[in-house]
Amino acid sequence: MASGRTPFERNFKIMAQENSGNPTARLLVIVVVALIAFAGGFFVSNMTNKSGNAGDSGSAAVAPSPSGERGTEGDGTALPIGDSFILGKESALVTVVEFSDFQCPFCARGATTMEQLQKKYPDDVKVVFKHYPLPMHPQATPASYAAIAAGNQGKFWEMHDWLFKNQKEIRNHGDDMKEWAGGHAKTLGLDIEKFNKDFDDPKTHQIVKDDMELGGKVAVRGTPHFFVNGERVVGAKPLAAFEEIVEAHLKEAKSLMKGGVARADVYGKMVAKNFDGGKADNKPSAAKPAGPSVEFIPVESNDPVFGNTKDPLVTIVEFSDFQCPFCSKVVPTVKQIKEEYGNEVRFVFKQLPLAMHAEAKPAARASLAADRQGKFWEMHDLLFEKHREFKSKSADFEGYAAGLAEQLGLNVAKFKKDYNDPAIAAQVERDLKLAGKVGARGTPNFWINGVNLRGAQPFPSFKAEIDKQIKLAKELKASKKLSGDDLYKALVEKNKASAPKAPAAPAAPAAKVDVKDLALGNAPILGPKNAPVTIVEYSDFECPYCKRGDASLKEAIADYDGKVKVAFKHYPLPFHKKAPGASKAAMAAGEQGKFWEMHDLLFENQRNLGSDDTYIGYAEKLGLNVEKFKKDLKNPEYQKIIDADMAQGSKVGVRGTPAFFINGERLVGAQPASKFKEAIDRALKEAK
């Protein structure tokens, strides 16, 4: 390159210039360690290295250039990288892996941290990207398709950077992600015809599915989620937390090599040691495991259906919302399924009007009222055609729906009667209840012989699963002599039996940690330094539970007269924007011996946190030297203290606030004073 800079360096410089003063301007250098990919073909192993570079023969991985290569490392380990896009030198001894979501704001923060980490350890850290679009982020999946399509032309990281940089715009492009991202693909000089083809390619969609299924197996329950040489790190942790882990892993990796382990084998050795076997420390989510679920969806006699209603090979059940733009987008795909598969498929429609769409339930009733006159699918198409009008018709939706019924040639009087029939309202509620039972939390949501396919996927995604199910149905039909609903039930059971198993229940954090891992350092102390009981508190001034927990703690220690001291550690959560500033105000007050007084004021006025002027007012109230306080507020060392506290908290398993350690015994959450007293009494007994 004429400039002498890699695309990574150029992008970073450009972003830094465009976002000077904005610490979240970033390049996502996310890294995903993978796993168990060889069985079932979780990763497309035949993708070629687009650069054609042989690389360092002593390395365990292909080191793609920042423009986007695919890895081939570690397919024999418990956490293989597979062919995911990676960034970094192939000789790096530390592999950081992240499961990420382009629509997740915490992933954007994680991207900044990863960029800083890789920049600090350019020779020793490489990163691997795995796609993990969350159900609540409907645009994240197509954004992943865009990144992969760009990656197929060597521009994965450029598209990846652009998506994160324009994250706030992603939500506006649910219907036209391919076109929107394609506009940027043009600026990257990509072949747009190939980009569009790859965006829709089932192989592209399978990559995302495989990454999500992999995430489910290794107990990923949110994003971002990292593995550092197999060691799990959950959430957008600060740079200091990753630096500490990387340093430890580098030391161990070099020790292994001195002991005779080949560089190519270091990764496998360390993953074998560090990976927790798919048992996460974080609390399990109530949501179903990631990846395609398999559920039997009963077909009722009054469900709208087209296709073969008596003896289909494939039953497709759709849960949909007439006011959902993504549901509207999939209508042409449904028609294409009908045209291509005809008598082989039974297509069943279930109502799932989402709470955010006020007119969705009335529209659902209108469709079912039309169904009683044999015109469900005609009304279905018309409602989706007109769905953008619904909000303006909310005052008299019945009258609006009656006009549509008239347009379809229905008996309008009967239509109105049926529209208001409690039985139709009950049918909608029945479908809603069923949706909750089977885990349909968004629309559109499909089950193909029980196999879940989420979102407004293009026809090739449906075709891949339908063709697979037709083959399976023909085999089962011939061997078991089954037909109709008996065949449907048997197919669902067969698919359940072959589906990936759910991850094992995660292990809880240790009830007690070594007090050596809770070094107090220069933390503010409340109580006598020689007290036999030390309580280390990780807290966030913007967290309402921290305020309650602190009140309970103070109530409890009041009864112990000098036997307890409290050390405060700063743990501002990523989504509490005002918390870091409040922590710095408390530290600035601490410079003048008034940390705890400011601490109390901040919690008392928790709803008024924010500007420096607010904190200066509190300083005046406490009788501080205001000029010194103002100067101290800007002290850059305070952020280092926060980062160090958070790194220590992460190491001992802090996953939220408040978190307390009473002579090492973990107590999580805003517990009542009685719980603190019980733990203090145990600590005093042990201290004797």
The tens digit of pLDDT for each residue in 428-479 reads 999 999 988 888 877 899 999 999 998 888 888 899 999 999 999 999 999 9
Q: 31 pLDDT exceeds 50? A: no
pLDDT of residue 278: 64
Give tens-digit pLDDT for 379-391: 999 999 999 999 9
Whether residues 534 and 491 fall in one domain: no
Q: Do 329 and 203 sit in the same domain of this protein?
A: no
Residues 61 and 183 in one domain: yes
pLDDT for position 654: 86
Statement: residue 48 has pLDDT above 90: no
Q: Are 359 and 393 in contact (CB under 8 A)?
A: yes
Q: In this structure, is residue 48 part of a structural domain?
A: yes
Angle between helices 376-386 and 331-341 (to 10 degrees): 150
pLDDT at 24 over 50: no
Task: Looking at the structure, tell me whether residues 31 and 167 fall in a common domain.
Answer: yes
CATH number, domain with residue 566: 3.40.30.10
Structural domain includes residue 405: yes
pLDDT above 60 (res 46) = no
Number of domains in the chain: 3
Is residue 468 in some structural domain? yes
Instruction: Give the bridge partners for 126, in sequence order.
Output: 95
CA quadruple 27, 28, 29, 33: dihedral, nearest 10: 180
Residues 497-542 pLDDT 10s: 988 765 554 455 667 888 898 999 999 999 999 999 999 999 999 9
Are 457 and 530 part of one and the same domain?
no
Q: Are residues 410 and 523 in the same domain?
A: no
Same domain, yes or no: 530 and 485: no
Asked if 87 and 212 sit in the same domain, the reply is yes
In a 3-state reduction of DSSP, which class is residue 165?
A: helix
Kindly state the percentage of the chain with pLDDT values over 70. Answer: 85
Same domain for 454 and 312, yes or no, is: yes
Given a cut of 70, whether residue 58 has pLDDT beyond it is no
Q: Do the domain assignments include residue 16?
A: no
Question: Which own/partner contact pairs does 465-473 have at CB distance under 8 Å and 24+ positions apart?
Answer: 466/314, 466/316, 466/337, 466/341, 466/345, 469/313, 469/314, 470/313, 470/314, 470/341, 470/344, 473/313, 473/314, 473/449
Q: Structure tokens of 462?
A: 């449906």
User: In terms of DSSP bridges, do strands 345-351 and 225-228 run parallel, antiparallel, or are they unpaired?
Assistant: unpaired
Can you give the pLDDT at residue 507?
52
When pLDDT is cut at 50, 70 and 90, the band that residue 40 belongs to is: very low
Q: Tell me which residue range forms the domain holding 624.
A: 515-687
324 vs 319: CA distance, rounded Å? 11
Give residue 685's pLDDT. 92
Which of 234, 251, 274 is the last residue in one of the domains?
274
CA dist 352 and 430 (Å) reads 10
Looking at the fold, whether 493 and 519 belong to one and the same domain comes out as no
Give a yes or no: residue 287 inside a domain: no
pLDDT at residue number 333: 93
Q: How confident is the model at residue 28 (pLDDT cuts 50, 70, 90)?
A: very low
46 part of a folded domain: yes
What pLDDT, on the 0 to 100 scale, is given for residue 580?
94
Residues 96-149: pLDDT tens digits?
Answer: 999 999 999 899 888 888 888 888 999 999 989 999 998 888 899 999 999 999
* pLDDT score for 216: 79
- State residue 292's pLDDT score: 60
Indicate yes or no: pTM above 0.75.
no
d(CA 9, CA 287): 39
What letter does residue 430 receive in the DSSP assignment? H
- The confidence score (pLDDT) of residue 45 equals 26
Q: What is the pLDDT of residues 281-326, one digit of tens each?
A: 443 333 333 446 799 999 999 999 999 999 999 999 999 999 988 8
Lowest mean pLDDT among 272-281, 442-451, 657-666: 272-281
Q: Are residues 368 and 225 in the same domain?
A: no
Cα dihedral value 172, 176, 179, 184, nearest 10? 20
> Would 281 be classed as within a structural domain?
no
Pairing label, strands 125-131, 231-234? unpaired
Judgement on whether residues 598 and 468 belong to the same structural domain of the protein: no
Within a domain: 618: yes
Give the percent of the chain with pLDDT over 90. Answer: 58
What pLDDT score does 70 carry? 55
